[in-house]
Amino acid sequence: MTKNSVPLRGWIGPVLVVTLLAALMGTMYLGYTSDPEKNLHDFPIALVNQDNGDVLDGKPMNIGNQITDALTSKIPADKIDLRVIGISESQRLLSDGRLYGEIVIPSDFTKRLTILATASVVPGDIERPVITVHTNPRASTYSASIVQRITDQAMAQINDTVGAQLTAQVKAKLQPAPGAAPTELSGAARLQLAKPIDVSVSAFHPLPEGTGQGLSAFFYTLILLFIGFSGAMIIHSMVDNVLGYVPAEYGPWYRHLPPVAISRWRTLLVKWAMAVVIAPISSGVFLGIATLLDMPIEHVLPLFLYGTLAIIAVCVTGLSVLAAFGTAGLLINMIVFVVLGLPSSSGTIPIEATPRYIAFLANFEPMHQIYLAVRSLLYFDGHLEAGLSTGLWMTLFGLTAGLLLGAIATHSYDLRGLSRLGVSHKPEEDVLVE
């Protein structure tokens, strides 16, 4: 090996790291989008049975109960969390974004089916009984299509079963007396009885214009996280350059100032202070641009304050990781905030439609917590139960963890005499501005 040669492992390292990163990204992003319906688990839908039943041939009958029993037994419990609840609770959960949809059987459902059966042998038009399906696009854009496909499949089977039952009942009533001519159902009556239920699908509290069909909360979350993440890298490199610990290269121009005698802890404090300064400015810029683009924002001040907090939390944590791990912190930050964060955010595909390993990450990944709070402020009137409470406390927890990591790491290095570039320092000699 010559004096200026580089060991082979120095060239293998970048190849290995990039290969592992590619494998992680492929697993996360392709696994995230490959087959959401196959990945379904714990997908919450409400079933509201308001049917009061009716009396048919002297016997009480409640088709709504039969449909409820059929749906709860046939819809796979390992994929769908079908909750049989009342209408008030269902709508409260929809309003908080804790349900992706509801199936409502009306109070006169059996009565209307009975009328339909009677009308099938009597001339005249009559409306079919209606089961209403409400989707919740405010909770998740993609969830609406999942709810519709699930209910389409389930209600098609229910329609066939109820239709066969109703047709058999009508035919039994039309049985002629001995020696009398048989009465046949008309073709129109057969068709009407074969599909007796009309399924109406509509959105619960449709999204207003200017929300990108429910994607505005996701992209607002994205810019909050990205400005915190990229801000940490920018502050880290530029402050280190000013302090003389990292050279600056702009094209052919190169500058490397003499290093300033300052501790790692004091350096990190300077970087944290800059993060606190840029956070409200960036949050205000985002709000201003959103207003210019006519994006509907009802809770301007809470969104500004939470956006500021989220940027500070991400930026402070990112700076602490860089202070603790050095250059490797760049990769760690990218993996934590971006590679693992985007698929587990639930901003495009619901968490319940992603692989379970991604759903597990959503319990602590920063982007999901920020998304819950932003979605609550933009779409759910800032309800704490709609995710604002979870997002707020988890953001504060993340900020606390970042502060502790940075403080412990830098103090530990300083106490052990691990100065940067071998530049010794004393606290009273730390100089920032001359």
Give the pLDDT band of residue 55 (cuts 50, 70, 90): confident
- The fraction of the chain above a pLDDT of 70, given in percent, is 86
Looking at residue 366, its pLDDT comes to 95
pTM as predicted: 0.89
The end-to-end CA distance of the chain, in Å, is 47
Top-level class of domain 43-203: alpha beta
Q: What are phi and psi of 295, to 5 degrees?
A: -80, 125
List, as own/partner pairs, every contact residues 358-365 make where C-beta atoms lie below 8 angstroms and the sequence separation is at least 24, other chains included.
358/28, 358/31, 358/32, 359/41, 364/394, 365/336, 365/340, 365/341
Q: What mean pLDDT comes out for the span 291-311?
A: 95
Q: pLDDT tens for residues 218-277?
A: 999 999 999 999 999 999 999 999 888 888 888 888 887 888 888 889 999 999 999 999
Looking at the predicted structure, is the pLDDT value of residue 431 above 70? no
For the chain, the average pLDDT equals 86
Give the pLDDT band of residue 122 (cuts 50, 70, 90): low
Give the pLDDT band of residue 434 (cuts 50, 70, 90): very low
Give the pLDDT band of residue 303 (cuts 50, 70, 90): very high
For residues 159 and 197, the answer to whether their CB atoms sit within 8 Å is yes
Q: What mean pLDDT comes out for the span 311-328?
A: 96
Looking at residue 61, its pLDDT comes to 83
Q: What mean pLDDT comes out for the span 38-66?
A: 88
Looking at residue 95, its pLDDT comes to 94
Q: pLDDT tens for residues 268-286?
A: 999 999 999 999 999 999 9
Could you tell me the sign of the dihedral formed by the alpha carbons of 172, 176, 177, 179, in that order? negative
CA 148/CA 202 separation, integer angstroms:
10
For residues 47 and 150, the answer to whether their CB atoms sit within 8 Å is no
Least confident of 19-23, 277-281, 380-384, 430-434: 430-434
- The fraction of the chain above a pLDDT of 90, given in percent, is 57
Looking at the predicted structure, is the pLDDT value of residue 158 above 90? no
Looking at residue 181, its pLDDT comes to 47
Domain residue spans in the chain?
Answer: 43-203, 211-425
